[in-house]
A and B are shown apart, each in its own frame.
Chain A
Amino acid sequence: MDPASILQYCITGLTVGSTYGLAALGFTIIFNTTGVINFAQGEFVMLGGMVSVFALRGLGLPEPVAVALAVPAVTLAGALVERLAIRPASGRPAMDLIIITIGVSILIRGLVMLVWGKDTHALPPFSGETPIPFLGAALMPQSLWVLSITLALLAGLKYFFSATLHGKAMLACSHDAKAASLVGIGVRRMVLLSFMISAFVGAVGGVILAPLTMTSFDVGVLLGLKGFAACILGGLGNPFGAAAGGLILGVLESLGAGLISSAYKDAIAFVILLALLFVRPSGLFGAKDAKRV
């Protein structure tokens, strides 16, 4: 149990945790505007990676162009999902919407499987594969990309929600949709925007992660689940909490795998989650108003 090993576990955990954090971020944005948990969020991350692979291999475009093409394409997909599946169901109880998003996630997965097959694909890393030695552990250059882009996204979102008109309008919708529409906020447009931003965040996540983790049509499932867990861990509704929750979940998982048992790695994450839910459901950073009877 030497310090170099522990450091390695932490580095791994932070990298994997960014995956969860970005997925969690997408969940949070949509939840903040509509109160809906979008189970198809993991699929946006998957699409980011898969569309990039298709643009790279199928269309033969250079990697930067492929990535620049993939992200807006997936953002558009998010808009389509909102228009075709969510808007017709507005006003329905939360359970119905959860089921619809589950259906959408199955649909997207089936479509990708049909069009691009079941194979796993690797994206070339942005700046090479030579590991950087760091205090006895190894750091991949792609990990640095992942962490820095995640932080940049977070900063951008914070600015968006606190300083821009659209961002504040979206927050208003989450607090009280009726009041928001009374002051002239187009609630429907905000919902559409929230899905597009979520898809954008998810796509970026997928693109920066695919070089590290490889991608295939079904990477979205577990990612969505763990992202959801990270959301709860950080406090549902808090974007920073979501990202932090993801990072913490990743590190705990990695430490659990290294120090306790790799077979039960996934279980460790969920056990901690359950313990937290029973003791402090508002998560680590959420407001203390989580519903308890």
Chain B
Amino acid sequence: MEGHQRNLYLYERFNARVLGVSRDDVTTLRYWAKGLDLTFPLLSNVTSFLGVYFQIQPDGKPIFGRRTVIIDKTGVIRYVRDGSPEYKDILLFLKKLNQEGGKS
């Protein structure tokens, strides 16, 4: 997440916005964001429907798996990677998407 915060100025340049989604409650996320000085929105999804939708909700576990998803301006999922975010890969993809004229 700190990597996303460092890259915010580049996301802005590529017409992209970043959101984090977690099953933690709002208060926990607020403390977490404060600790890491994050300024982008974090969504609290305690009931986990987003995790089910994005297929990152392991059965019987109270947390989401880690997945990076890039959605273009038409709502089409264009990029999906599991595990820790590959920041350089994400930036190159957003640059390409922006050059195509797609607003993510």
Co-complex (A, B): no
Taking Cβ atoms with an 8 Å cutoff, the residues of A that contact B are none
Taking Cβ atoms with an 8 Å cutoff, the residues of B that contact A are none
